Every structure is written in C-alpha cells, then in structure tokens.
C-alpha cells in the first residue's frame, strides 16, 4: 500500500484478539478483545493513516502464544 501511495498503518491483530489456549481452534474472549480494540484502534486511525491493515484468522493467548481461529458456518 505504501508503494502505491495509500496511507495505512500496520497492526498485529494478536494485540487485539484475545483467545483461550485451544489448539488450532482458539475461542475468542469477546469482552477482552473488544476492550483491546477500543484501546488500540482509535489511536492508529487519523487523517494521515485512515486505513489499518492486519492479518486474519489468528489471535493470541494471555501468554502471548499465537492461536488459529476457526470459522464455523
């Protein structure tokens, strides 16, 4: 995006999405995740960086281990 002149800010989503320790199927702690999103995202978005880019389908445990999220339909 930078090469194309599109202003953006990188965010490691593991700083926002909090999960339990379930291997390969981390269950999101929605209350903690919402709290983190509300703390982190507003400080990243501004006139110079109106877009936040991050990865998908991962989160982190309270010990900061990466977890994989599963989408159930």
Whole-angstrom distance, CA of residue 61 vs CA of residue 41: 19
Domain span holding position 49: 9-68
Whether residue 39 lies inside any domain: the answer is yes
Whether residue 2 lies inside any domain: the answer is no
Whether residue 16 lies inside any domain: the answer is yes
pLDDT over 80 at 13, yes or no: yes
Q: What is the predicted pLDDT for the residue at 49?
A: 82
How large is the average pLDDT for residues 53-65?
A: 94
- The number of domains in the chain is 1
Q: What is the predicted pLDDT for the residue at 15?
A: 96
Q: What is the predicted pLDDT for the residue at 2?
A: 83
| pLDDT digit string, tens, across residues 18-53 | 999 988 888 999 999 999 999 999 999 988 888 999
Whole-angstrom distance, CA of residue 55 vs CA of residue 12: 7
Q: Which residues pair with 67 in a beta bridge?
A: 59
The verdict on pTM exceeding 0.85 is no
Whether residue 1 lies inside any domain: the answer is no
Whether residue 52 lies inside any domain: the answer is yes
């Amino acid at each position: 995006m930078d090469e194309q002149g599109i202003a953006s800010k990188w965010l490691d989503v593991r700083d926002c999405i909090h999960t339990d320790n379930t291997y390969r199927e981390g269950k999101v702690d929605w209350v903690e995740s919402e709290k983190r999103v509300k703390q982190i995202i507003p400080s990243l978005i501004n006139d110079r960086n109106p877009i936040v880019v991050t990865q998908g389908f991962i989160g982190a445990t309270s010990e900061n281990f990466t977890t994989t999220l599963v989408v159930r339909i």
